[in-house]
Amino acid sequence: MSGWWRLLASVSVGALIPLAAGMGCALLGLGPNWWMGMSAALGLVWALTQNRILDRAGAAWTELCEAAGEVPALNDDDATLLALFAMHSSPVRVAWPVKILNPCPDSRWWPYPWRHCRVMFAWGCRNAELFTGTERLAGKNLLQRTERGRSWDGTSVYEATGLGRDVAARNAEVLMAGRMEEAA
């Protein structure tokens, strides 16, 4: 982490410490002497731990930036995506197969808001994996984009190429042969 970012983070947290201490004292009904004491104690803790915290944050950011180019196929849904596109003779919007493979969860948010946030975050990450899988298939010439989405990539229109249809048919044959062996 560069010096300017470290300075900005340190000053920002240092400015938030008295505010957090003031809110804590107001909620507990404590006076201004307690506020000054809490501010001093939290400031001392921040001063002693800021280098370690900022170094870890910088290392995590560096790892994230290095891994950004490597998007792994976590669930390996490329074959299923290709089959869903190959089922249609006409071009299909990307959002349709993504919606089939990852329907929107129907989680109630009011009793458990944090659980709802985690579920919706996981749903969004899964959608991003599926959109990346579609782009990966297009990069392998198994799909071709016929129309680019105007507002976001989920509205882009793709269709399976001849090679993509052949690969999807072959995948289906291999899958059915495997199921026949399991049944026997």
For tokens 């921040």, what's the residue?
46
For residue 161 the two structure tokens come to: 């190429």
When divided into structural domains, the chain yields a total of 1
Rounded to an integer, what distance in angstroms lies between the CA atom of residue 30 and that of residue 171? 69
Q: What is the pTM of this model?
A: 0.55
Q: Supply the range of the domain harboring residue 142.
A: 3-182
Half-sphere exposure of 41 (CA within 13 A, CB side): 9
Q: Work out the average pLDDT over 140-165.
A: 82
Please give the Cα distance from 82 to 117 (Å, whole number): 30
Return the CATH number at 176.
1.10.10.10
Whole-angstrom distance between the N-terminal and C-terminal Cα of the chain?
A: 60
pLDDT tens, 47-87?
999 989 888 888 887 777 676 555 444 456 888 888 888 98
